[in-house]
Chain A
Amino acid sequence: MTSLTFEDTAKRIRSLLVKDFKLDTGQLTLDARLDELGVDSIGMAELIFSIEDEFGLKLTDAAVQLSTFGEVVHFIDEALADRHATAALPSKAQAVPTAT
């Protein structure tokens, strides 16, 4: 489950949280609840913007409902994998949700 890309995704999102919400890296275990670390619903909306910019993604509103750090990483990792898979199909390339 913890693929190389997963580890890289986790590291990059962890960096965003440390920078934007002044958290310590050590607090950001996979089962850490973000709301308990001060990232409330407003913070999630901000975090999604940061993640979209960092990864060149356009996320759905469902991302706001994620609660643990691990869930966020999984969600993004899957979104990245979907993009990679879809990008391999030239006929669908136009529909790929990517960077704004």
Chain B
Amino acid sequence: MRRVAVTGIGLVSPLGHDVTAVFEAARDGHSGIHRLQIAGAHRLAAPLAATVQFDGTQHFDPLQFRLLDRFSQFAVVAARRALADAACELSDAQRDRAGVFLGNGMGGTLSMDEGYQTLYGENSDRIKPTMILKGMHNAPAAWIGIENGWRGPNLTYSTACSSSSVAIGEAWLRLACGATDIAIAGGCEAPLSLGSLKAWEVLRTLASEDTADATRSCKPFSRNRSGMVLAEGAAFVVLESWDRALARGARIHGELIGYGLTTDASHIARPSVDGQAAAMTAALASAGIAAEEVDAINAHGTGTQANDVAETAAIKRVFGARATQIPISATKALHGHLLGAAGALEFVLSLLALKHNTALPTMHLDVPDPECDLDYVAAVARAGAAGRTMLSNSFAFGGTNAVLALRAVD
């Protein structure tokens, strides 16, 4: 198995676009969550979201722009940034073995919502002829492949909230076994249509608004947590074999050392402690490390009642008595839940936490919960606490659990 280096990072995120600025926002507890301004927001019980400052017309010519849903716009721009950061130029032959691995949960839901508004809301047949091409789940990966002429695998994974961790993990497998030499891996999501917000709301998963400060509405692991806050954005990394990265003198952000993938196979929505614990154990096994070597964890930490209790129990099962000594960060309190892009953004934040050896804070954890009694790095970042090796957890509706193991560069 070949070692895999992370040599590029590209973000379009609710915490900003510049990688350093995003890390500082996460470290300093600056929330990207706010009251949402969209048509029909008054129909939502709690119109909250973490949105991206982004004008697609600044990044694409009009002819291409009309073919791109917002989730594809995010993906292409974030991939450009990751490739620019990696500073890699591929020969034509190398492009045959260069792959795109993308996670996404909801597809081009804004375009689909718009089309259905025309069809049902306005009773008109004048749906845009581009609706299918904008809405299909694999459009963002396809556009990244087209823009760069990468002709290797171009794959889209849709496993709800673990999609982009799966994408990064599957890319790692292909790189490690030598089937692919370089990959763009990550995820994108633009779910903030009224239709999708309402659907999440009626499922009773969304946070109520913190009446004192809307930006503090998502409270992972806090006893007064009330749910998650939906978010949009994209995060991508460039992954390549360690030797290739060294040979070309690339700057290496960190090493992806393992990937655990399990399926609950029990309930469509209820998290399984067994499945989550098994995924963490599988990640350790694939990395060839013992549980004692894990210095910190980026939790899935959605801020829902069900997730936070199950994840706490799963961490205890894997790490035993040492679980209470491991700093655990839930950054969704700040950037919200990017669904299919969440795992990739959190993988990047974990890389940066290792790079700066700083455990990121779990913000808005004001009221301890007896059922969530681990060290969540409440409210204040902890310098020197991220160590050298981390796990980044992603769990999902549907039961696909993906855990990435990563290590700092010496």
Contacts and interface: CB of A to CB of B under 8 A. Distances in A.
Nearest to B63: A38
Interface string B104-147: 00000000000000000000011011100100000000000000
B128 A46 contact: yes
B129 A46 contact: yes
Contacts of B133: 42
Interface residues of A, number: 10
Interface of B: 61-63, 66-67, 125-126, 128-130, 133
Interface in A45-100: 45-46, 49, 53, 100
A62 to B, nearest CB: 16
A22 B129 contact: no
A77 B14 CA distance: 51
Contacts of B67: 42
A21 B133 CA distance: 18
Q: Which of B63, B66, B130, B133 has the most A CB atoms < 10 Å from its CB?
A: B63
Nearest to B126: A49
Majority-rule SS of A interface residues: helix
Nearest to A52: B126
A86 B128 CA distance: 30
Interface string A3-34: 00000000000000000011000000000000
Interface of A: 21-22, 38, 42-43, 45-46, 49, 53, 100
Contacts of A22: 61-63
Contacts of A100: 125
A38 B66 CA distance: 12
A42 B129 contact: yes
A45 B125 contact: no
Contact of A21 (B63, B125, B126): B63
Given A22-B61, A38-B63, A46-B128, 13 more contacts: A21-B63, A22-B63, A42-B67, A42-B129, A42-B133, A43-B63, A45-B129, A46-B66, A46-B129, A46-B130, A49-B126, A49-B129, A100-B125
Nearest to B127: A49
Contacts of A42: 67, 129-130, 133
A100 B127 CA distance: 13
17 contacts: A21-B63, A22-B61, A22-B62, A22-B63, A42-B67, A42-B129, A42-B130, A42-B133, A43-B63, A45-B129, A46-B66, A46-B129, A46-B130, A49-B126, A49-B129, A53-B126, A100-B125
Nearest to A100: B125
A46 to B, nearest CB: 5
Contacts of B61: 22
B298 to A, nearest CB: 41
A45 B125 CA distance: 14
A12 B335 CA distance: 48
Contacts of A45: 129
B57 to A, nearest CB: 12
A90 to B, nearest CB: 28
Contacts of A21: 63
Contacts of B128: 46
A43 B67 CA distance: 10
A22 B66 CA distance: 12
B146 to A, nearest CB: 13
Nearest to A37: B63
The list of the 5 closest CB pairs from A to B, nearest first, reads A45-B129, A46-B129, A22-B62, A38-B63, A42-B130
A22 B125 CA distance: 25
